[in-house]
Structure 1
Amino acid sequence: MSNCNSQGCGSGFVVCLVLFILLVIIGCICF
């Protein structure tokens, strides 16, 4: 999440949060 903080608040943080959630969901499906 440190990479998201460097982009600042706003849409960048939202996009990073969505990608992080998708990564967790895919991880749960694969493992």
Structure 2
Amino acid sequence: MSAPVGYGYGRAFAFIIVVFILLVIIGAAVVRPGGYYY
């Protein structure tokens, strides 16, 4: 907890964005499997 608040918040925000994008990609693959596997 010695790191600046802004730095920790920035990392957390970037991490959430990355996870959100991954969830969207996985969700799209599940909803439309034809576009990825066929």
TM-score band, normalised by the shorter chain? 0.5 to 0.7
Identity of counterpart residues, as a percentage? Answer: 16
CA RMSD of aligned residues (A): 1.5
Unpaired segments ≥5 residues, structure 2: 27-38
TM-score by length of 1: 0.67
Q: Which residue of 2 aligns with 1:28?
A: 23
Tell me the matched-pair count. Answer: 25
How high is the TM-score relative to the length of structure 2?
0.57
Displacement over 4 Å in runs of 4+: none
Which 5+ residue runs of structure 1 have no aligned equivalent?
Answer: none
CA offsets 1:1-29 (integer angstroms, 9 cap, x no match): xxxx7xx1310000000000001100001
